[in-house]
Chain A
Amino acid sequence: MLALARQTVRSSWRGYLGAFVALLFGVVLIAVTTTLIGSVDATSNLPGVTADQRTQLDDLAAMFGMMSAVSAFMALFVVGSTFGFVVASRRRELGLLRLVGATPRQVRRLLLGESTVVAAAATTVGCLLGTMLAPAVLDLVRTIGITTLHLEAPSPWIAWVVAAPAGAVVALLGVWRSARRASRITPSAALREAAVERTRPSIVQLAVAIVCFGGLVTAIVLAADLPPLFALVASILLPEVVVIGLLSIGPAVIPRLAALLARPFVDRDVAARLARDEVRGAVRTTAAVAAPVMAISAIAGSLLLSLSFTADWTTAQDRSRLRAPLVVEAGSPGATAAVAADPTVAVADVRRQVTLQRDEDGRPGSPDEVEIVDLATASTARSLTATRGSIDDLRGPSVAVTTTWVTDAGIGLGGTVAFWIDGDRVPLRVVAVVPDAPDLYGELLIPAGLVPPTTDGPVFVVPHGDASATRDSLRRTLAGTDSRILDASAWIDATAAQTRQANNVGFTVLLGPAGLYAAIAIVNATLIGASQRRRQRELVQLLGASPDQVRRAAIWQAGLVCGTALLLGGATTAVLGWLVRRAITADLAAVPMTIPWLPLLAIGVVCLLLTVSATAAGLSSRK
């Protein structure tokens, strides 16, 4: 059996090369992201890490964790689908094997044997490559400015232990699933040349789809009651769920949708008609090529949209709470004091923060940014008011918290939060819950006098009389101190721009590796699909299609499949965007909506370009 496996791998090498490539890069991807997590861990175990560095490391760990999760999903999803596809495309050969006397079990064993050989090779090479790439990736993380810390390289076995088994197991699972179906092929399938592929989903596939879409529907129903930040998290996790659901019924859905998409063109171009028929006939190829496009467009699109909506939300909150008409970004502590001393200034409300360690089981634990507020000024300049409890009680050992923090931490009004201040454990009572306004104040607010502040932020200025008079006066007072004086709305715009900038960096880090992998997977799947359509193409040419018609049909086909996948990815994006939007507007009415059209369109265009150019390359390489 093993000898037979070796020989058949040799003949279906094109498909297996594709599977090899998908798994190889999948393992590299998982190895690299695991290395990043490992490096954060290794660095934080070094002696002499400061509290500030620890905060940075915690943030990095969270970011890399999310990145690994998305990458792992992409890799495993593509690997499973590619291996399954390669098996499914060998119908006729397997039918022939059954005809000459292979039992279903023998067919299964043969397929598993073949794939084990391929998977073992890909996993080994992938892990080696991942280990070699790790130092370069750690350098890259510093170069693009994700962190200023020097990350320690962890020992390489971490990547091996995670990436190798994950990749191999998923590859074999994909094969096992297809092999089970393939082994049930009747021997007479070998006789029917262009057997029409089955599109009806199995019970298991239907069940998976129902569970996935059930989850989505539940989230939609709950959307209005979700805190916006939870909706954001949901919009990162749900696309994966939706994509799995879509792909499990993919062979039934995708070809039909593609045919619908082709409808306006089939009467105008015979190549479009050929492409439409081919997309409908070769359902497995269609679904497999669509898979990576659909996954990346749904995941990236949803993340883009919800990050943008969340930025809209925080900006709207800032705007609705900021009462001060002027904001000064002081260049020095002296400048901050000078603002307060200016005779035209009625209230100078300084944003002040300190990093305190939360109490964890009687010991100083993870650091938190805490806002130190002067009630008298903050209630005027930042309209600091309580939605529950009373902000006036914020004196002595007490703390006010934001609505989001309450949902997040599960501690509400009347509860206790303990911090370590100067070596002592200080319990603070929650006396008020305030609305969120992320750029005006943080999630935890304590009264002045408990601890001295460590950092001064912007000064929110309420003038005695006319704002422009105060601005002129401040401009004179602060001349030469490198300070900036801004109108409230200009300051909010600038802050919003900064948030979006940070979001973009976050987006790039989160999806960069997965996106790169998706690009490889798209090209890979397109090339496998093209090599499997060769016989069909030769037949069409025999029947009198000109080389140009054949080429156009192939391009049409690529466009149709990719377009359909983008349509599904786009629909997922729209639904999840709506979900976040709904959670936001339930929280705060009249939030403006910014749709990042350019990046969204860019995703679509890049996917289309990749599929079409891979198809063109596949065509020309065969001459």
Chain B
Amino acid sequence: MNQAAVTLDGLTRTYRSRAGSVHALRGVTHVVQRGTFTAIMGPSGSGKSTLLQLAAGLDRPTSGRVTIGDTRLDKLNETALTRFRRTSMAFVFQSYNLLDSLTAFDNVALPARLAGRRADRAGVLAALAHVGLRDQARRRPSELSGGQQQRVAIARAVYGRPDVLFADEPTGALDRGTGRDVLELLRSLTQGGQSVVMVTHDPLAASFADGVLFLADGQIVGHLARADAGQIAAAMNELER
């Protein structure tokens, strides 16, 4: 069995706009192993979000290619890509992860329903229980705190059991304690063989990961394995100098 969960091969992405071209990524190659937690760090504007979006097939690279498990994303059309994303990937962002109109329960069950499957009640509730929100199942996002909303988004990933979870600054809007809970949850997913790729600018958050990738100016400029927050912060300082 292929041990690579996400393979990035020579990715570049150039945004063209009236103001000129922006080379957000200039050739990124990396492999994320199955069952690992990878953090991507870098100064603001270094291309972290762009990288995440390309890896998740939310955007197409200008050149290079992305492979998730054994599936090359460039071979899929929009609908096939959507179906693939439904079963293989999950997302957690800084905010706005949930449909305002749906309850926590319905938000968790949504991908399965979109796939035409019945949501199994016990499974959804178990996923919500895993993130500690068993009792909030019937609440809507407006009735949940920021941290609770993030946890519902993680419960969505727990329930769907996708191969990879992508997270862009998932703790950016949370206080330390709540952020810590969310990070613990993300790490817990890897024990079941799922991979987590998380963008962050917080060394403490990155210290929960198995490995940290440093990005600057659209290129990978460094890598740390099993580092603590102090080491990561030092490496970041080095980068930003």
Interface, chain A (partner B; CB < 8 A): 4, 7-8, 10-12, 92-93, 96-106, 186-188, 190-191, 193
Interface centre among A12, A98, A103 (most CB of B within 10 A): A103
Chain B, residue nearest A189 (CB): B58
Let me know if B49 and A11 touch, CB within 8 A: no
Let me know if A101 and B114 touch, CB within 8 A: yes
Let me know if A100 and B79 touch, CB within 8 A: no
Let me know if B113 and A99 touch, CB within 8 A: no
Q: A residues within 8 A CB of B187?
A: none
Q: Which of A12, A104, A186, A190 contacts B59 (CB 8 A)?
A: A186
Let me know if A101 and B96 touch, CB within 8 A: no
Q: A residues within 8 A CB of B86?
A: 100-101
A193 to B111, CA, bound (A): 22
A4 to B101, CA, bound (A): 9
Let me know if A7 and B102 touch, CB within 8 A: yes
Q: A residues within 8 A CB of B59?
A: 186, 188
Query: Does B82 touch A at the CB level, under 8 Å?
Result: yes
Q: A residues within 8 A CB of B87?
A: 101
- Against A, the Cβ 8 Å flags (1 = close, 0 = not) of B86-118 are 110001010011111110001000110111000
Interface, chain B (partner A; CB < 8 A): 49, 53, 58-59, 78-79, 82-83, 85-87, 91, 93, 96-102, 106, 110-111, 113-115, 156, 168
A99 to B78, CA, bound (A): 12
Q: B residues within 8 A CB of A100?
A: 86, 91, 110-111, 114, 156
Nearest 5 CB-CB pairs, A to B? A101-B86, A11-B101, A188-B58, A103-B82, A101-B111
Let me know if B83 and A103 touch, CB within 8 A: yes
Let me know if B53 and A188 touch, CB within 8 A: yes
B114 to chain A, nearest CB (A): 5
Q: B residues within 8 A CB of A93?
A: 99-101
Q: A residues within 8 A CB of B93?
A: 191
Let me know if A7 and B91 touch, CB within 8 A: no
Q: A residues within 8 A CB of B102?
A: 4, 7
Q: Which of A8, A96, A105, A190 contacts B79 (CB 8 A)?
A: A105
Chain B, residue nearest A7 (CB): B101
Q: B residues within 8 A CB of A92?
A: 96
Let me know if A193 and B91 touch, CB within 8 A: no
Q: A7-B106, A188-B58, A191-B53 are in contact. Are A102 and B114 (CB under 8 A)?
A: yes
Q: A residues within 8 A CB of B156?
A: 100
Let me know if A98 and B96 touch, CB within 8 A: no
A77 to B59, CA, bound (A): 36
Chain A, residue nearest B53 (CB): A188
A99 to B106, CA, bound (A): 15
Interface centre among A8, A100, A191 (most CB of B within 10 A): A100
Let me know if A102 and B99 touch, CB within 8 A: no
Let me know if B82 and A96 touch, CB within 8 A: no
Chain A, residue nearest B95 (CB): A193
Chain B, residue nearest A6 (CB): B101
